[in-house]
């Protein structure tokens, strides 16, 4: 399962280049609704979108056997991302 897909259904402006993206995250064949805060930073050659959210890994079946024990790896995992986008 090397791929994660987030499909946005709504983007809401919060002001000061901050946005809230609502959509569905799919991992390991399981889909869950998510709300992801994002900050937009315009640039000369590319714009960036920075965001972070908490992933509850057990909801997606991530971690089996001894790895399913939250004493070994926490269920809530902080995910941070940066997307660079250019118009060319």
Domains and CATH numbers, the chain: 4-85 (2.40.128.110)
Tens-digit pLDDT profile for residues 30-69? 999 999 999 999 988 899 999 999 999 999 999 988 888 9
How many whole angstroms separate alpha carbon 49 and alpha carbon 2? 22
> What confidence category does residue 26 fall into, taking pLDDT thresholds of 50, 70 and 90?
very high
Position with higher pLDDT, 86 vs 60: 60
pTM recorded for the entire structure: 0.83
Summary mean pLDDT of the chain: 93
Burial 2-41 (b: 16+ CB within 10 A, else e): eeeeeeeeeeeeeeeeebebebebebeeeeeebebebebe
Residue 88 has pLDDT above 70, yes or no: no
pLDDT at 18: 98
């Amino acid at each position: 399962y090397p791929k994660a897909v987030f499909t946005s259904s709504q983007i809401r402006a919060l002001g000061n280049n901050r946005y809230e993206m609502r959509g569905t995250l799919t991992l390991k064949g399981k889909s869950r609704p998510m709300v992801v805060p994002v900050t937009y930073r315009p640039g000369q050659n590319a714009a960036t979108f920075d965001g972070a959210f908490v992933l509850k890994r057990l909801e997606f079946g991530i971690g089996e056997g001894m790895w399913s024990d939250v004493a070994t790896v926490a269920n809530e995992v902080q995910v941070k991302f940066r997307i660079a986008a250019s118009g060319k």
